Structure 1
Amino acid sequence: MSSKTSKRVAIFLRDLGLGGVERCAVLVGEALAARGFTVTLVLLGGNRNLWSSRIGQVQVVDLSSAWQPLKPWTWLAGWRAARRIAAEHDIVIAGTFLLPLYMAYAATLGLKKRVIGWVHGPFFELDAFAKMNPVHRTACQFVYRRLDELVFVSNHAKDSMARWLDCEPKSTWQVLPNFVDAAQIIPAAVPRAEGSPLRVVFVGRIAEEKQPHLWLDTLAALNANKVAAHLTVVGDGPLESWLIDDAAKQGLSMQITLAGRQDNVSAYLAQADVLLLTSGFEGCPLVVLESMPMGVLLASTNAGGVYELFAERRDEFVVNEASGEALAQLIIQQQTHAAELSTWLKQRAEQYSQAALIERWVTMLSE
Structure 2
Amino acid sequence: MHTRYILLLQEDMAVGGIHTATQALANALRCAGQIPVALALRNTRIGALLRAVWRADIIVATNGFLPSYAAWLLGMLLRRPVVAWLHGPTQEVLEHAHASAAKRAWLRWLYRRLRWVVFVSAHTRDSFLEFTGGAAAGQRLEVIPNAHPDWQPAPMGASPQYLGFVGRLAPEKQPELLVQMLRLLPTTYRLCMVGDGPSQPALCAAGADLQQVGRLELRPFHLVQATVYAPWQVTVLASLYEGCPMAALESLAAGRPCVGLPIPALREMLGPDMPYALAHDCSAAALARAVQTVCAMPPEQLAHDMAQVLRRYSPERFSHNWQRVLQEAAC
Question: Do both share a fold (TM > 0.5)?
Answer: yes
Q: Compute the displacement of 1:213 (Å).
A: 2.7
Output the amino acid matched with 1:99.
L
SS at match of 2:163: strand
Rounded Cα–Cα distance in structure 2 between residues aligned with 1:231 and 1:250: 9
Residues 113-139 of structure 1: CA deviation (Å, up to 9, x unaligned): 322111011110011111235554333
Check the 8 A contact 2:84/2:117 in 1, yes or no: yes
Q: Which protein has the larger Cα radius of gyration, Structure 1 or Structure 2?
A: 1
Flag the structure with more relative contact order, 1 or 2, with Cα contacts below 8 A and sequence separation at least 6.
2
Sort the Cα spacing of 1:145 and 1:24 in 2 relative to 1 into closer, same or farther, 3 A. Answer: same
2:17 to 10, 16, 20: 20
* Residue 188 (structure 1) aligned with residue 185 (structure 2): no
Q: 2:144 corresponds to which residue?
A: 176
Check the 8 A contact 2:89/2:242 in 1, yes or no: yes
Q: 2:177 corresponds to which residue?
A: 214
Sort the Cα spacing of 1:297 and 1:252 in 2 relative to 1 into closer, same or farther, 3 A. Answer: farther
Q: Compute the displacement of 1:289 (Å).
A: 1.1
Q: 2:161 corresponds to which residue?
A: 198
SS at match of 2:282: coil
Q: 2:238 corresponds to which residue?
A: 278
Check the 8 A contact 2:87/2:244 in 1, yes or no: yes
* Residue 307 (structure 1) aligned with residue 267 (structure 2): yes
1:298-337 to 2 correspondence within 5 Å? 298-337=258-297
Rounded Cα–Cα distance in structure 2 between residues aligned with 1:19 and 1:332: 28
Rounded Cα–Cα distance in structure 1 between residues aligned with 2:40 and 2:205: 39
Check the 8 A contact 1:187/1:266 in 2, yes or no: yes
1:6 to 3, 6, 11: 3
Rounded Cα–Cα distance in structure 2 between residues aligned with 1:85 and 1:251: 49
* Residue 262 (structure 1) aligned with residue 222 (structure 2): yes
Aligned length: 326
1:1-367 to 2 correspondence within 5 Å? 4-46=1-43, 64-66=44-46, 82-109=49-76, 111-168=78-135, 172-182=140-150, 184=151, 186=152, 188-189=154-155, 191-192=157-158, 198-223=161-186, 228-248=188-208, 254-339=214-299, 340-367=301-328
Rounded Cα–Cα distance in structure 2 between residues aligned with 1:104 and 1:168: 19
Sort the Cα spacing of 1:312 and 1:97 in 2 relative to 1 into closer, same or farther, 3 A. Answer: closer
Alignment RMSD (CA, Å): 2.5
Sort the Cα spacing of 1:319 and 1:264 in 2 relative to 1 into closer, same or farther, 3 A. Answer: same
Residues 122-176 of structure 1: CA deviation (Å, up to 9, x unaligned): 1100111112355543333221111121000001111111122232587621100
SS at match of 1:202: strand
Q: Compute the displacement of 1:85 (Å).
A: 3.5
Check the 8 A contact 1:308/1:314 in 2, yes or no: no
Check the 8 A contact 1:117/1:144 in 2, yes or no: no
SS at match of 2:201: helix
Q: Compute the displacement of 1:201 (Å).
A: 0.5
Q: Compute the displacement of 1:290 (Å).
A: 0.9
Check the 8 A contact 2:274/2:305 in 1, yes or no: no
Rounded Cα–Cα distance in structure 1 between residues aligned with 2:142 and 2:7: 19
Sort the Cα spacing of 1:22 and 1:245 in 2 relative to 1 into closer, same or farther, 3 A. Answer: closer
Rounded Cα–Cα distance in structure 2 between residues aligned with 1:126 and 1:276: 21
Sort the Cα spacing of 1:191 and 1:88 in 2 relative to 1 into closer, same or farther, 3 A. Answer: same
Check the 8 A contact 1:92/1:104 in 2, yes or no: yes
% identical aligned pairs: 27
Rounded Cα–Cα distance in structure 1 between residues aligned with 2:250 and 2:210: 32
Rounded Cα–Cα distance in structure 2 between residues aligned with 1:310 and 1:95: 25
SS at match of 2:18: helix
Rounded Cα–Cα distance in structure 2 between residues aligned with 1:174 and 1:330: 33
Q: Compute the displacement of 1:189 (Å).
A: 3.2
Q: 1:74 corresponds to which residue?
A: none
Unaligned runs of 5+ in 1: 47-63, 67-77
Q: 1:54 corresponds to which residue?
A: none
Residues 314-337 of structure 1: CA deviation (Å, up to 9, x unaligned): 521112411111111112222332
